[in-house]
Amino acid sequence: MSSIIIATANPGKFREIQEDLSGIFDVFYSLDDLEYTVEVEEDRGSYAENAWKKARKIGDRFGISTLADDSGLEVEALGGRPGLYSARYGKNDTERIDRLLTELEGVPMDKRKAMFRAYLSFYTPLDEKTYFFYGCLKGFIDVKRRGSGGFGFDPVFSLPERGRSLAEIPLAEKNRISHRGKALASFRRFMTIGQIPRLLP
Ligand code: ITT
């Protein structure tokens, strides 16, 4: 029986990752299941290093293979902000979205381009090896919230070719197209056929 720790304190991320990897692992441990409450500070200079720090710290602590995700939203009109600091952009999702909408007030739709990036780090404590997987998703920041699914910035992240926000599509559909879904697809190829992604942007 194969088990994995999903090293995230974000229940939305946990749900998406567990759903996507349900055919690959039998047991998924969340940080809650492990009663791990120490916050691993995201203080590195890149998403990949932050993800690696989380995966290694928790993988070593419990001796179980661990997957961590560091992601961020980059908005063109804000010079790429909040980016690496997306989680610290506000105290909670409501505050983060309110701040984003305020900062973009008056910016026309064609100037509201945005991109989600997700970096996954998979750490195996037995041999101390780490593997990285990446995905991105392009869209626009809407002028108001739409939909009640997903988490984080999903209600204001608009998918132009679908005419809907990420919070208006089912989880399985989000996983097929999203930054995290793409990184997870690459991770699944690694787990099933041993394919190691060549380059990280
Ligand atoms: P962990 O570090 O514990 O995994 P976190 O919420 O702090 O959880 P990040 O630093 O990676 O995670 O997240 C950056 C921010 O971007 C955070 O506010 C998330 O809610 C948001 N975010 C990440 N992925 C998202 C997605 O798929 N949809 C909407 N918002 C997302």
pLDDT tens sequence across 29-71: 999 999 998 887 888 899 999 999 999 999 999 999 999 999 9
Q: State which of 41, 71, 136 you would mutate to test the pocket of ligand 1, scoring each by most atoms of that ligand within 8 A of its C-beta.
A: 71
Report the alpha-carbon distance of residue 96 to residue 81 in Å, rounded: 12
Asked if residue 27 is part of any domain, the answer here is yes
Asked if residue 47 is part of any domain, the answer here is yes
Provide the domain limits for residue 134. Answer: 3-193
Asked if residue 201 is part of any domain, the answer here is no
Asked if residue 85 is part of any domain, the answer here is yes
- Residue 120: in which H helix or E strand, if any? strand 113-124
Asked if residue 199 is part of any domain, the answer here is no
Report the alpha-carbon distance of residue 170 to residue 22 in Å, rounded: 17
Among residues 92, 74, 93, 96, the alpha carbon closest in space to that of 83 is found at: 74
Look at ligand 1, atom 4, and give the residue with the nearest C-alpha: 8
Tell me how many domains the chain contains: 1
Q: Verify whether ligand 1 is closer than 6 Å to residue 174 (CB atom).
A: no
* Bridge partners, 72 (sequence order): 117
Q: What does the mean pLDDT of the chain come to? A: 95
Calculate mean pLDDT across residues 101-128: 97
| Those residues with Cβ within 8 angstroms of residue 91's Cβ, 6 or more apart along the chain or in another chain | none
Q: Are 137 and 183 in contact (CB under 8 A)?
A: no
Look at ligand 1, atom 24, and give the residue with the nearest C-alpha: 71
199 CA distance to ligand 1 middle (Å)? 23
Please classify residue 27 by burial: count the beta carbons closer than 10 Å to its beta carbon, then call 0-12 exposed, 13-18 middle and 19+ buried.
Answer: exposed
CATH number for 61: 3.90.950.10
Calculate mean pLDDT across residues 81-108: 97
Asked if residue 138 is part of any domain, the answer here is yes
Asked if residue 101 is part of any domain, the answer here is yes
40 CA distance to ligand 1 middle (Å)? 14
Residue 191 has pLDDT above 70, yes or no: yes
Q: Verify whether ligand 1 is closer than 6 Å to residue 74 (CB atom).
A: no
pLDDT in the model for residue 199? 67
Asked if residue 200 is part of any domain, the answer here is no
